[in-house]
Structure 1
């Protein structure tokens, strides 16, 4: 077991797929470091034990779950089904998470999964919505046959199928598609389905506390509440699960509506579950728990907080590609439709709006250790867009093959911020048995992040600093943004100052990275400090850094739909002792070009 400092090497090497060893080991010889790591592991272990004991102490782990005589309601599934995929499943072609497997006369559960993500998708049964979307007798029979195969034998990936988050997704999928599955079903299938459902719920209620913190645990508890509402004779389960749900919502959804793990994508996934759950309480003529209602009300405005003009979410702390259809579905439930807040201090984010320009910045420390297993070293990173065009982005995470890119994606170098000595501002637990239990949480990083907002001279001002480099290098990184209210200019400043008052800066190199969206084309000008950026709508921007040579390097946009895409990054590099202050500017040099209306008639 060791600590990874998040060094990813040059991002151009990442784009070429050459980053075979993106992390650099850190010596564990320091007594202080070993002591800190031991204390952290003890804390993580105690929290894990308490979470497990807590689930049993609230009676959730032992609450009776009798086999239901019937299902009282079938909740709505807000995730979109695709009828064309039903034909592929019927033909025995199972395409999940970028991998395709053919049945060739076998059940899908007899196959050796090509990846963990593929097995998670198969055993989560979310694909049942595609068969339901087809709505044919053949699709229904196919769905029943595959569910029957699973009930007989979960197959080679049974360990993945038993995971709390996968089991929870499967229970919700079976409940939401129950009307489709059980219509015209014979009595034998009906009874086997009910017995299997009850058995899975019993297993999940014992394992809910084992689910990783964040969305997996929320999903497990939400599935148990769904089961209590939908299955007959489950009053005890509903009462206990409802109590746990309220506790988790109060803990994991912060006062400003952001998630504890700081991943904006959790808002989308969780609301896709909680909105149907709220409807299910109404369908049963039960009052929804106040914690559920309050959490939804807090989360809705944060959806708009993280959105760029093109509808995509900003890429922070595990956020990948934004499913536009899912987000549109959720926003249809937003009755307020108000302007997003600018300041989210509990979640650790800031937002600046000026006409069509938008800036979203990470101005918070990493989440608590147990909730940081997918968090990134992204303090003071930002994204910048003009109307529907994103300009500066973070690399994000891919839809598939996440494990292959995980260390690179979490490094500071994969974000639009400053990197000192090719080292991330956070360090991550790596290797050994503990990572199999806790994942790869952040073991050290920024502890103090100071933030100031204001307005001056027709500009919105934001300044923040963090101490993520203080312990290793004795450096405080301070960043300022100035967004012109006219919506045509963004000025920035990065300052490196000694961590100790009166101290001196070490001779360490820095690299300030601005990852560009793949739709942005970049052209170097004769001036070595300036580049011209062209957007798809004809808009042009000049980037200038008068005192530091400007480099243009390859990068990779991991969060692109389907698969990672090559892109570019602007890089300002130097030595903190020679250049402790770096100023840079984005200025619009050409407005978007309007498309002339089509002419009618000849000629």
Structure 2
């Protein structure tokens, strides 16, 4: 057994020990003892309701009233029963049901019937699940339910009697106490930060929470300082984390203002750092690059979040703490993953995509990573995290990271990254001629004794992207091992071989055209799949350059613009600044 596998085995046992310890503590703090404890500390009243920034769909209200619940791709018809009595439904469906995010759809309907329906469903949850439910009391579900109940409390409580009001507030307080007692045992990363946000939001939204409010604010500051990096990224290196955190952090910040409370410095600094980095990850059509767990972009939510960005300046070009680089020239944008694997404790959604890049021209995305599948399917999740699903180089179709997947530990711990690139040196050059990034990673050094280096240069006018991939031996290598450099194409492109198969023509829907040339190598055009489409998986193409490894091998390639767009069009995911929605004051109760 080599040193790498010994280190991985040691890491697995440490993760297992931590998991068992946290499960034990959670059982002590939030298990049967918690459920048997009497609870009489009911706040006198709610003071305000933080805003819900997520988009509502009023058309869902009629389905919910009719007992048809479509969540996470699963449709369940209750046949006149309460949905909280059902047990056979899919777990993801149950999580979405118990999270109560669909309250925003009932509220959007803005009718007496939808309000009565919402109140009846809340009463059902309190009756059937208010003391315990195996899924309804998962920490992440409790967090989302607290935030939903608080945000939509004016809608739920309007026209309700005093008994319902008291029962609602008592249940809410009980859930907050559960979250407060178990926050240290929640999954590290975004889930724990969301829990801290929910507790803080509740404490400043409910009367008589002075002591708890001070504690919750200190805990929120601790999590923000620990999880938000100096350049604004999240420790998980997932761009989606920025959207999810800001969507909850901004309303909490606004609630502080409405209550006349002093703003915690960490809250101000975190928002100021995250906003520019959110713009950093955006292509010309408004979509965010698919790195480390980022799927399809919720454009309406991103638009609302960016409306609260006071600076609205040009995005930064360098995110060294998060491990990303951005090249910009003319209308072209190149985003590159130049960071090592995140800490195993927050790597459950991270990908083996070191040195992968995405490339867009104007509103046309050209080269992409496959992204994350919206389907809750372990197989697609495994595929999306592999190096082969990214626009970078692989050796023997092996990922540059090793994920935990073996039973039983994979079932207990998920699939964190056990090993991957550690040394990822980056050099950057910017001048009038363009911008250049030279980066390498050692993810293949242990198994194949090869270091992969990528040299990317984007011309100043954005019409030429040159790249060189170099494989350098750091020991004895097997010349039979083969490399494959992949460029996954966005499904909006039409690709075809030209010049006798030595080059590839890429034509966009608006008539813009680019040529790909591999400088002596023969590129292949193969099938691929785009996983991050809003409407599901889409077939697409990928360009592949393949060959056998040598002691020192360099492969050069180029994307060159050959025709400008013939049509002026707006991308479906783009939006005007005037279309962005302003953040509103919290609603008083």
Same fold, TM exceeding 0.5?
Answer: yes
Corresponding residue pairs, total: 561
State the partner residue of 1:73: 48
CA, structure 1 residues 197+240, in 2 after alignment: closer, same or farther (shift >3 Å)?
Answer: same
Deviation string, structure 1 residues 65-122 (Cα, Å, up to 9, x no partner): 9211110111111111111111111111111111111111111122345433222211
CA, structure 1 residues 156+281, in 2 after alignment: closer, same or farther (shift >3 Å)?
Answer: closer
- How far apart, in 2, do the equivalents of 1:157 and 1:505 lie? 57
State the partner residue of 2:347: 372
Q: Does 1:159 align with 2:130?
A: no
State the partner residue of 1:601: none
State the partner residue of 1:528: 501
On the 8 A contact 1:111/1:156 being kept in 2, the answer is no
On the 8 A contact 2:4/2:446 being kept in 1, the answer is no
- How far apart, in 2, do the equivalents of 1:509 and 1:157 lie? 54
State the partner residue of 1:410: 385
State the partner residue of 2:243: 268
Secondary structure at 2:133's aligned position in 1?
A: helix
Secondary structure at 2:294's aligned position in 1?
A: coil
- How far apart, in 2, do the equivalents of 1:495 and 1:31 lie? 26
Deviation string, structure 1 residues 271-296 (Cα, Å, up to 9, x no partner): 00000000111111111211111111
Secondary structure at 2:426's aligned position in 1?
A: strand
- How far apart, in 2, do the equivalents of 1:484 and 1:321 lie? 29
State the partner residue of 2:118: 143
Shift of 1:226: 1.0
State the partner residue of 1:315: 290
Secondary structure at 1:160's aligned position in 2?
A: coil
Shift of 1:142: 0.3
Deviation string, structure 1 residues 203-258 (Cα, Å, up to 9, x no partner): 11122122222211111111111111112222222122211111111111000000
On the 8 A contact 1:307/1:314 being kept in 2, the answer is yes
Deviation string, structure 1 residues 484-537 (Cα, Å, up to 9, x no partner): 11211101010000124xx55643101111001010110111432211000011
Secondary structure at 1:449's aligned position in 2?
A: coil
Question: Which one of the candidate residues 523, 527, 531 is aligned to 1:550?
Answer: 523
Secondary structure at 2:261's aligned position in 1?
A: coil
Deviation string, structure 1 residues 414-433 (Cα, Å, up to 9, x no partner): 00000001100000011334
Shift of 1:556: 0.9
State the partner residue of 1:38: 9
CA RMSD of aligned residues (A): 2.4
1:224-373 → structure 2 map (5 Å cutoff): 224-373=199-348
Q: Does 1:189 align with 2:164?
A: yes
State the partner residue of 2:542: 569
- How far apart, in 2, do the equivalents of 1:121 and 1:161 lie? 9
Shift of 1:402: 4.5
1:445-594 → structure 2 map (5 Å cutoff): 445-455=420-430, 458-500=433-475, 506-577=479-550, 580-594=553-567
- How far apart, in 2, do the equivalents of 1:231 and 1:438 lie? 36
Unaligned runs of 5+ in 2: 28-32, 570-589
Deviation string, structure 1 residues 330-378 (Cα, Å, up to 9, x no partner): 0100010010110100000000000100000000001011011110000
CA, structure 1 residues 145+453, in 2 after alignment: closer, same or farther (shift >3 Å)?
Answer: same
User: Please, what TM-score do these two structures have when normalized by structure 2?
Assistant: 0.91
State the partner residue of 1:387: 362
Secondary structure at 1:518's aligned position in 2?
A: coil
Deviation string, structure 1 residues 22-62 (Cα, Å, up to 9, x no partner): xxxxxxxx153453123213443566689899999xxxx99
1:395-406 → structure 2 map (5 Å cutoff): 395-406=370-381
Secondary structure at 1:94's aligned position in 2?
A: strand
Deviation string, structure 1 residues 134-173 (Cα, Å, up to 9, x no partner): 1110000000111111111139992121111110000010
- How far apart, in 2, do the equivalents of 1:595 and 1:387 lie? 11
State the partner residue of 1:123: 98
State the partner residue of 2:583: none
Moved more, 204-213 or 284-293: 204-213
On the 8 A contact 1:473/1:506 being kept in 2, the answer is no
- How far apart, in 1, do the equivalents of 2:7 and 2:263 lie? 43
1:63-102 → structure 2 map (5 Å cutoff): 66-102=41-77
Unaligned runs of 5+ in 1: 1-29, 597-603
Secondary structure at 2:6's aligned position in 1?
A: helix
On the 8 A contact 2:26/2:185 being kept in 1, the answer is no
- How far apart, in 1, do the equivalents of 2:20 and 2:132 lie? 26
Deviation string, structure 1 residues 433-467 (Cα, Å, up to 9, x no partner): 43344321100000100100103671211110000
On the 8 A contact 2:510/2:568 being kept in 1, the answer is no
